[in-house]
Structure 1
Amino acid sequence: METETQRLNLKRELGLIGAVSFIAGTIIGSGIFITPQFVLSAIGSPGASLVIWTCCGMIVMLAGLCYAELGTVIPESGGEFMYLLRTSGKVVAFMFVFSFILVMRPANSTGIALSFAEYVVAPFYSGCTPPQLVLKLVAAIAIIVLSVVNCMSVRLATTIQVISMVVKLLAMAVIVLGGIVKLFQGHTENFNNSFEGTNVDANSIGIAFYQGLWSFGGWNTLNYVTEELKHPEVSTVLCF
């Protein structure tokens, strides 16, 4: 008697626009609005900080191209877990996902949520520091709401992701255009002796790279939902 083997499949509801917003919306988070000051203070000069940002962008671009290749060769959701499972075995994959779930992802999500909370409550505490309890409550509520939305519907989560990406791109455009306007107005004093005071010790360079790469964090998130892409062999390559 023949039996049919049924397999649980994820719905392919994520298109190219949703995939692009998934990456861009994750990368353009709270990091880019906070870390530039830490990169500059760590490396010590505007010129060197621009070099750090350029190097971080190159590193992420090369890593993204590698992930685009992995996403087409191993078209399964799960990201690093699936790649380690297919290449290094179950033990290494389990060790990675165990530390990822218990340490890496919660710590990263907490940092992003706290940064988001600081911006949300800032208008209500003008001229003073917001209480830590309020920040933690707002951050916790944000995490819970986003978790519920992602559990409810991929389509709804994608819509929210696209809207948030547009808002963040507009905010970035305001900052960039404001800087360009200042340059045309003759405010170029920061570029005079731009490498003066650069910290060349390994500790300063390492901290600057850490802060810069943290701002680029999220470039690999699309590979976690490969099985939910409508055309993964096309969307993955075009996004990266």
Structure 2
Amino acid sequence: MPSTTKDLASPTEMKLTSAMNGEIDTDTDNGKVKMKKHMGLLEGVAIILGIIFGSGIFISPKGIIEETNSVGLSLVVWVLCGLLSMIGALCYAELGTSIPKSGGDYAYINEAFGALPSFLYLWAANIIFVPTTNAIMGLTFAKYVIQPFFPQCTMPDFGVRLVAACIICFLSFLNGFNVKATVRLQNVFMFCKIGALVLIIIIGVVWMSFGNVDHFQNSFADSTTNPGKIAKAFYSGIFTYSGWNYLNFMTEELKNPFVNLPRAIFISLPLVTGIYVLANMAYLSALTPDELLSSDAIAVTFGNAILGKFAAILPIMVAISAFGGLSVHIMTSSRMLYVGARNGHFPVMLGHLNIKNLTPLPSLIFLINQLLYVRNSS
């Protein structure tokens, strides 16, 4: 990864050099420089699915059934949460086409409410929320990678943290070295995640075709009528669907965003909703609600109940999913920091680009502070 100052240039300094090479677009009205548009519709869909399909659906999608107390109502909540997420995503599609700037939430807050609220949001996000999220995702990946080596004993904390730190550094390096390689890698992980979930769904369908549908008998019996518990169920569901706004963090790098941004959302959210509902039906076909609630890694428990010796494939799926989600989060969050620095809300150095690779290298290096959260985690 280039590290010398001659490899870094501010947007203004890069305007003449890069525009002559046709690598980036220039806005003749205000003289700003935009990074190269290297993402099409497929890449946009991969960004959205990559962050929504994290490790959560494989590990512990039990918050909804814990609050609803019934299989039938829990599946209804999953569907309604998908519809609510679609509404939110459509609002962001409108924002992304009306304000075609990278930075996502930060850019829209800055445009609507001014400098101070966006400044406060940017600092809170990049000092607390972004690094802690990356650290959690890195640790989740590390635990599932190391787990097969310690089947009968406790995993060493130092080993988990070391693997998490290495994978965060690797993905940060890859994002800084070659955006195209990162995007292509994300496409691969998108298909892997979908394939893993489709595999779970197929196993569940086959299992139910053998007559194992007892858990769906009287599926609405004992459903809660407590408004508070229903609200908490919706909160858990909406949280599981979170991530549909991450493509808006990279709007300036999306080809024809006025077309591809809405299309990516129209494709992604219905697909996510259908897969989530069917995956939960597959889980519930093999496990009782009590077994689901007692499991901390539902996909692994599901595999042990049905696949036997082939159940070892499911922890690998969880690790792949966490890896892909971490890659997306590092890529998109660095863009928010870059845009904020470009607007003068962070040190101006973080608003520079690597002149060879057209990547926000200083922003990626700054976000390595997430390793402190990995080191200090318990």
Normalization by structure 2: what TM-score? 0.59
The equivalent of 1:165 in structure 2 is 190
Distance 2:83 2:60 in 1: 18
Counterpart CA distance in 1 for 2:240 and 2:152 is 27
Give identity over the alignment, percent.
Answer: 37
1:108 matched to 2:133? The reply is yes
Kindly report which structure 2 residues correspond to 1:24-173, keeping only aligned pairs within 5 A, or say none.
24-173=49-198
Matches within 5 A, 1:197-216: 197-201=222-226, 204-216=229-241
* CA distance in 1 between partners of 2:83 and 2:119 (Å): 30
The answer to which of 52-61 and 71-80 deviates more is 52-61
**Aligned equivalents of 2:191, 2:162: Cα separation in 1:** 26
1:54 is displaced (CA, Å) by 1.4
Residue aligned with 2:33, SS: coil
2:255 to 210, 226, 230: 230
Evaluate the alpha carbon distance shift between residue 166 and residue 188 of structure 1 in structure 2; reply closer, same or farther with a 3 A threshold: same
Q: Could you tell me how far apart the structure 2 residues matched to 1:145 and 1:104 are?
A: 21
AA paired with 1:238? R
User: Residues of 2 paired with 1:54 and 1:94: CA distance?
Assistant: 36
Moved over 6 A (4+): none
Q: Equivalent of 1:180, from 205, 217, 225?
A: 205
Residues 57 and 11 of structure 1, relative CA distance in 2, 3 Å threshold:
same
Residue 56 of structure 1: how far off its partner (Å): 1.6
Aligned partner of 1:14 in structure 2 is 39
**Letter paired with 2:179:** V
Q: Deviations over 1:162-219 (max 9, x none)?
A: 0111111110011011111111111111111223344554564454334323322221
- Give the alignment partner of residue 244 of structure 2, picking from 219, 227, 234: 219
Q: Which runs of 5+ in 2 are unaligned?
A: 1-27, 266-378
Contact 1:31/1:112 (8 A) holds in 2: no
Are residues 1:190 and 2:197 paired?
no
Task: Give 1:85 shift.
Answer: 0.7
Per-residue CA distance 1:52-96 (angstroms, 9 max, x = gap) = 211221111111101111111000100011111111110111111
Q: Distance in 2 between matches of 1:156 and 1:64?
A: 27
Q: By how many angstroms is 1:107 displaced?
A: 2.7
Residue 160 of structure 1 and its aligned partner are, at CA, apart by 0.9
Do the aligned partners of residues 136 and 39 (structure 1) sit closer, same or farther apart at CA in structure 2, a change above 3 Å counting? farther
Cα distance in structure 1, aligned partners of 2:49 and 2:96:
17
State the Cα distance separating 1:148 from its structure 2 match: 1.5
Deviations 1:3-55, CA, capped at 9 Å, x for gaps: x9753221111111111111111211111112313433343322222122112
Structure exhibiting the larger radius of gyration computed from Cα positions: 2
Amino acid at match of 1:69: E
| Cα distance in 2, alignment partners of residues 125 and 96 from structure 1 | 41
User: Is the Cα contact below 8 Å between 1:31 and 1:214 reproduced in 2?
Assistant: no
Q: In the TM superposition, what is the alpha-carbon distance from 1:225 to its structure 2 partner?
A: 0.4
| Cα distance in 1 between the residues matched to 2:92 and 2:126 | 21
Q: Which amino acid aligns with 2:254?
A: L
Q: Which has the higher contact order (CA 8 A, sep 6+)?
A: 1
